[in-house]
A and B are shown apart, each in its own frame.
Chain A
Amino acid sequence: QMTLKESGPTLVKPTQTLTLTCTFSGFSLTTSAVGVGWIRQPPGKALEWLALIYWDDDKRYSPFLKNRLAITKDTTKNQVVLTMTNMDPADTATYYCAHKGNLVPRGFDYWGQGTLVTVSS
């Protein structure tokens, strides 16, 4: 059974850097074609894809946020870390991590519960 769980601060100040960790189980990020992505959702708004890291350390970023994002993995800890710089109140959202695998190659079949991050001074 695949599970993912997001962790990190619930409140950050404007201009600060956000660091979120996705801890997963039930799959390995060393398996070919497997990836872990990050998606966010501002309150009352639509889902927005942010970034994805593949088993081979290939990385993809949203073109709208590319300059502010960095995604890394630690396969020994089964973790993926997303950092987002220069946080703004508009970045207030629930942040989800999700699994991309072989059976669903163009999307996300397992999601974490999400973590709400509020950006406020």
Chain B
Amino acid sequence: SYVLTQPPSVSVAPGETASITCGGNNIGSKTVLWYQQKPGQAPVLVIYYNSDRPSGIPERFSGSNSGNTATLTISRVEAGDEADYYCQVWDSYNDHYVFGTGTKVTVL
């Protein structure tokens, strides 16, 4: 089964840039999505098609995907960005959806 690995935590100062990685075997050949989940709330889609943003998501959120690593980048981090972030792909070989292990972003 396909596995997506994320760092458990990332800490960043306000105004700085946070980078969250998502590692998977040849993930660059897949379409990656990213979700933001704040405590007690449902996940919210922030990136799809590797780098596209849904309506309403700030331009500060961007994504990239190549080789064995996909990355979510949050520029000019704000206190309100503090949340858990999950990557997700569709594993075409096994025909099922896979979520990453999740990364807790802490704004210092």
Residues of A with Cβ closer than 8 Å to B?
Answer: 37, 39, 46-49, 52, 60-64, 96, 103-104, 106-109, 111-114
Contact = CB atoms under 8 A, between A and B. Distances in A.
A27 to B, nearest CB: 15
Given A96-B42, A106-B90, A107-B48, 8 more contacts: A37-B97, A46-B100, A46-B101, A47-B99, A48-B99, A49-B99, A64-B1, A113-B42
Interface string B90-102: 1000111111111
B26 to A, nearest CB: 16
Most chain A CB neighbours (cut-off 10 Å) among B37, B90, B102: B90
B96 A60 contact: yes
Taking chain B's interface residues, is the majority helix, strand, or loop, or is none over half, making it mixed?
strand
Contacts of A46: 86, 99-102
Contacts of A60: 95-97
A111 B99 contact: no
A52 B97 contact: yes
Interface string B60-99: 0000000000000000000000000010111000111111
